Amino acid sequence: MAGQEGKVYAGEIYVVGLGPGDPLDLPPINLSLLRQGSGVYLRTAYHPVVAFLENEGIRYQTFDDIYETSRSFDEVYQRMAARLLELAISENRPVVFAVPGHPLVGETVVRILLDEAPRKNVKVSVWPAPSFLANIYSLLRIDPMEGLLVVDAFQLCSFARKSGKFTVPPETGVIVSQVYNRVMASEVKLTLMEHLPDTQTVYVVRAAGIPGEEKVKKCPLFELDRQHSFDHLTAVYVPPLPYLGEEASSKPSSYPLDPLVEVMERLLGPGGCPWDRQQTHQTLKKYLIEEAYEVIEAIDQEDMHKLCEELGDLLLQVVFHATLARKRGDFDINKVIAGITEKLVRRHPHVFGTKEVKDARQVLVNWEEIKHSEKEKKQRKSLMEGIPRCLPALQKADKVQAKASLVGFDWPDVSGAVAKMEEELREFKAAFKGKDLQEINSEIGDLLFAVVNVARLLGVDAEDALRSAVDKFIRRFQKMEEKARTRNLKLDQLSLDELDQLWEEAKKEEEKIC
């Protein structure tokens, strides 16, 4: 078989695009080639234009049987390409191979043909048609020049499983084609959720380019496979994620933890520090708490040099625990950082997504709703679940009350909370008169809880307020000790009235300084 340029070929294949689905998008030259008679093969009959071809009296054969008898898509594409090359060599006329959309967009068989045909001395000519992508651009108002990654659903999931990687370039949207059923949609969802926020907005696009059948459904990523009408004409669009800029690139981190991690590895490794190597998550608990409180002390003192140092000590505890976990095979510092980063993004859809909020309180409500949806699989039964058992009592009371307020179980204003505090004080006094220690203990607890409620509604942190009061007491008591020393007095030998007089002097001096 001779080509136009005079070269003799063993066979010829015309690869013809059928367009996205509207017969009006089928180019006349492509239709003419399809009308030539025998030798027309469709990759699949599952395409809207096929009914039009039948009405036009066009005879064809399909390769749908290969889908049903192959073990994988790779095998499907390889078998189709081999079959076409055999037909091209055995036929006395060009073989017409028709594919949905544009032949060079998402058509693996065509790519294989273009690679293999020269080795078989077979000529391949491509006759383009509009792609479904152009219609998606129009439906979703996408400019592909701003950055767009197009990937087949099977290739996406297969590559991610094999390599464990799927990197979205910065500022780049993603179109996933051939999301042909709910099972594939679930695979796509799980693959994307390994790298993107669960609440990332996605668009399910069906029948792009087919008048009267086009549908676009917006949903969060975690609900992708709960949508309906998945078929061979369904694609999923993931908008660009601006916040992924540096994270998705290969640019080195500006704040590397590597040196600290390497030091910790050395301390815990062979020949390292005997004390460090004896530590466990349990033995380190008290140090974690101590370092956290030392950070708070530096903040209260407004000592930035000390704060910098104490934050380093606290960070060491995080790295210490992560290194111990890595040695056990549980997780490492990378997973810690990746987890909290992803959680922050997921729980701030008003920053990284499309959700809008009016104020800080609505942010907290959204936060709890997102946490609730995250824990649905764990069957969380109460809003109070997840509050750390070991929180300081005042801080825990504040957290409990704040969670209850999210569903409206709260005083409309602080006056109601003050009245409740006064009621609890009266009940304490009654218990005190009754001299029942168990009742006194209970009423003191109720009174403290009521005081925290008043503080919360006034915007006062009860834990900080009590800590400040204790620090103030310490300062004044130390002033009393100083005054007693200068007067050659011993506090334990003074009467309560004399102690009270020293206290008032210390108090007045402090008030003058303030």
Q: What is the mean pLDDT of residues 289-298?
A: 89
* Structural domain contains residue 52: yes
Phi, psi of 157 (to 5 degrees): -70, -40
pLDDT of residue 166: 59
Residue 116 confidence (pLDDT): 94
Return the pLDDT at 125: 94
Question: For 459-485, how does the pLDDT look when each residue is reduced to its tens digit (9 = 90+)?
Answer: 898 888 888 888 889 989 999 899 899
Question: Which domain-ending residue is among 101, 129, 157?
Answer: 129
Within this chain, do residues 195 and 300 fall inside the same structural domain, yes or no? no
Average pLDDT over residues 290-318: 91
286 in the same domain as 235: no
Q: Say which CATH number the domain at 167 has.
A: 3.30.950.10
Q: What is the mean pLDDT of the chain?
A: 84
Sheet holding 61-62, edge to edge: 61-62, 40-42, 95-99, 11-17, 122-127
Query: Residue 11: helix, strand or coil by DSSP?
Result: strand
Taking residue 70's Cβ as centre, other Cβ atoms within 10 Å add up to: 15
Give the CATH number of the domain where residue 270 resides.
1.10.287.1080
384 located within any domain: no
Give how far Cα 54 sits from Cα of 27, 39, 45, 60, 98, Å: 17, 15, 11, 9, 14
Specify whether the CB–CB gap between 147 and 35 falls below 8 A. Answer: no
Kindly report the backbone phi and psi dihedral angles of residue 376, in degrees, each rounded to the nearest multiple of 5, phi listed first.
-60, -40
Task: Let me know if residue 503 belongs to a domain.
Answer: yes
Q: Is residue 320 in some structural domain?
A: yes
Global confidence as pTM = 0.47
- Taking each helix axis from N to C end, the angle separating 462-486 and 437-457, rounded to the nearest 10 degrees, works out to 110
* Residue at 351 is within a domain: yes
Q: Is the pLDDT of residue 164 over 70?
A: no
Share of residues in the chain with pLDDT > 70 (%) = 86
What is the pLDDT at residue 251? 43
The pLDDT of 216-235, averaged and rounded, is 86
In a domain, 253, yes or no: no
| 3-class secondary structure, 508 | helix
In this predicted structure, the answer to whether residue 187 has a pLDDT above a threshold of 90 is no
Q: Structurally, how many domains does the chain consist of?
A: 5
Q: Is 409 found in the same domain as 361?
A: no
Query: Which stretch of 129-133, 164-168, 301-305 has the lowest confidence by average pLDDT?
Result: 164-168
pLDDT of residue 3 exceeding 80, the answer is no
| Distance between CA atoms of residues 215 and 208, nearest Å | 7
Lowest mean pLDDT among 40-44, 47-51, 232-236, 371-375: 371-375
Residues 356, 313 share a domain: yes
Q: Is 439 helix (H, G, I), strand (E, B) or coil?
A: helix
pLDDT at 99: 94
End-of-domain residue from the set 460, 480, 496: 460
Same domain, yes or no: 69 and 146: no
**Domain span at residue 45?**
11-129
For residues 265 and 358, state if they share a domain: yes
Q: Please tell me which residue, 154 or 453, carries the higher pLDDT value.
A: 453
Confidence of residue 241 (pLDDT cuts 50, 70, 90): low
Residues 196 and 114 in one domain: no
Both 241 and 272 in a single domain?
no
Top-confidence residue, 224 or 365: 224
Is residue 4 situated within a structural domain?
no
Domain termination site, one of 374, 400, 423: 374
Are residues 40 and 117 located together in one domain of the fold? yes
Q: Are residues 274 and 344 in the same domain?
A: yes
- 40-53 in b/e burial notation, b at 16+ Cβ within 10 A? bbbbeeebbbbebb
d(CA 455, CA 418) in angstroms, rounded, equals 10
Assess if residue 380 is contained within a domain. Answer: no
- Looking at the fold, whether 73 and 168 belong to one and the same domain comes out as no
Structure tokens at 484: 């007693």
Average pLDDT on 211-220 reads 89
Res 352 pLDDT > 80: no
Helix axes of 73-90 and 108-120: crossing angle, nearest 10 degrees:
40
CATH number at residue 120: 3.40.1010.10
pLDDT of residue 126: 95
- Tell me the mean pLDDT in the region 35-40: 80
**pLDDT for 436-463, tens place per residue?**
899 999 999 999 999 999 999 998 988 8
More confident residue, 139 or 361: 139
474 and 454 within one domain: no
Residue 256 pLDDT > 70, yes or no? yes
Between 316 and 509, name the one with better pLDDT.
316
Rg (CA), the chain: 36
